[in-house]
Amino acid sequence: MRGIPGRARVLILCAVLCAVASALPALRPGARVPWADVALLAGACAVGEMPLRRLRGLLRGRPADRVPPSGTGSFFPVLLAAALVLPPSAAALAAIPGALVASVDRTPVGVRRLWRAAELALAAWAASWAAVLCGGLGTAPVFPRAVPVALASALAFCLVLTALDAAILATAERSPVVATWGGLLPCSLAPHLVHGLAAVTAAVLWHSPYGPVSALFVLLPVYISWWVFAQCHHERGAHRATIRALVQAVDIKDEYTRGHSERVGRASMLIARELGMDEERLEVIRFAGILHDVGKLGVPTRVLRKDGPLTADERRVIELHPEYGHEMVRGIGFLGEARAAILHHHERMDGNGYPYGLAGNQIPESARVVAVADAFDAMTSSRSYSRARPVSVAVGELERCAGTHFDPRMVSALVRALSRHGWQTEVTADEAHLPDSAAVPPSRSAPQPRATAPAARNADGHGV
């Protein structure tokens, strides 16, 4: 448990002791425990907790340490079914094997598994007691009477589990426990209640003439749909991790624009939402804003950080960054139209932009959104070479350049969004290093090969 804060260690130890105490009555001599049911439900919990890829690898004889983790989280309908058909102490026991074989992606693995086993055992124990206090299901449960019992059981399960999660976060990461629990509970309540409905279906069948096997068969399609959803969630997380890594690489390479990409993504979403784009497209537009400058990774660092004026050749190299960026992300399918935005966000409505000199509606809509967001954040952020302009001044510049540099529709959408949501300006570099004149250095204000208004200087220091 090295590296774990002392308070977290105490909490884990207390949870383990409480879990042991909750399961002990089932292990006492003479306790009436349906061990066959416990074994069946514990096995189902273990299969549900174990990632399918790991299970498939183990069945094929591959060593466990060579099976890549692909965790999907706990399959709670089985635990809730156990809470409905087993005594409280037996329900706590049924939850433990699954937690102990679950995939853990972070260290210390043993401690995390132990904590997970303890909290699931306590949650299942509380859920079973809630069912008992509501009258239980009896030996011949029927749906109208069984549903309130199942919902009460699911509610108790959710309350205990989220409370324990909030407590461990509070002790390990020093986050406020009440605020953390208040954030976890609303997100968890509805899914747990839905799981409770699936569990009551299994519990009713468990006591029916068809027996326990039929109950588990009912949970099979629920498990498959849950697993598919979890894989989609995992894939979306991988997408975000990929984008985050690219943005961090750009931020490290170009210290002048640190944090700029995230804010351009946020401003792009404001514009896109104001235009009425659907949620799926909003996400793609946000990706476009975040990754618009990823092509800087292909520009020599000495050119990006040069203190003196840029030569014509150096400027041409920098103006290749949209094409570099497009090449980098061309094979990333989930980016969709964001790839076009990365390539064309420096095009101008009058055709004097780059890399291809597109004009008007020839420029993809996503690129026109990002161009406005990019210029707006560049003007409202402080850097080592310039002080932030007030939002009103930046908006005035965008409106003045609407029609020549920017799509007027995108500018109007941003103005409406700002009036509704406001904008918090940021500092992307240490303002203590700002020169008194706050002038743009020569490398950022060198004469442009194309006519460029001051408002059209983006975070690269080049004309849009």
Please give the chain's pLDDT, 464 residues, in tens. Answer: 566 788 888 999 999 999 999 999 999 888 888 999 999 999 888 887 765 444 444 334 444 333 333 334 467 888 999 999 999 999 999 999 888 887 777 778 888 889 999 999 999 999 999 999 998 887 667 777 889 999 999 999 999 999 999 999 888 777 788 888 888 888 888 888 888 888 888 888 888 888 888 887 888 787 777 777 767 777 777 777 878 888 888 877 776 666 788 899 999 999 999 999 988 899 899 999 999 999 988 888 888 877 778 889 988 998 999 999 999 888 888 888 999 999 999 999 999 999 999 999 999 999 999 999 999 998 888 655 567 788 899 999 999 999 999 999 999 999 999 998 888 765 443 333 333 333 333 333 333 333 333 344 444 444 43
Answer whether CATH 1.10.10.1100 is correct for domain 254-456. Answer: no
Q: Please state the three-class secondary structure of the chain as a single string.
A: CCCCCHHHHHHHHHHHHHHHHHHHHHHCCCCCCCHHHHHHHHHHHHHHHCCHHHHHHHHCCCCHHHCCCCCCCCCHHHHHHHHHHCCHHHHHHHHHHHHHHCCCCCCCHHHHHHHHHHHHHHHHHHHHHHHHHCCCCCCCCCHHHHHHHHHHHHHHHHHHHHHHHHHHHHHHHCCCHHHHHHHHHHHHHHHHHHHHHHHHHHHHHHCCCCHHHHHHHHHHHHHHHHHHHHHHHHHHHHHHHHHHHHHHHHHHHCHHHCCHHHHHHHHHHHHHHHCCCCHHHHHHHHHHHHHCCHHHHHCCHHHHCCCCCCCHHHHHHHCCHHHHHHHHHCCCHHHCCHHHHHHHCCCCCCCCCCCCCCCHHHCCHHHHHHHHHHHHHHHHCEECCECCCCHHHHHHHHHHHECCCECHHHHHHHHHHHHHHCCCCCECCCHHHCCCCCCCCHHHHCCCCCCCCHHHECCCCCEC
Sorted by where each begins, the domain ranges of the chain are 6-236, 254-456
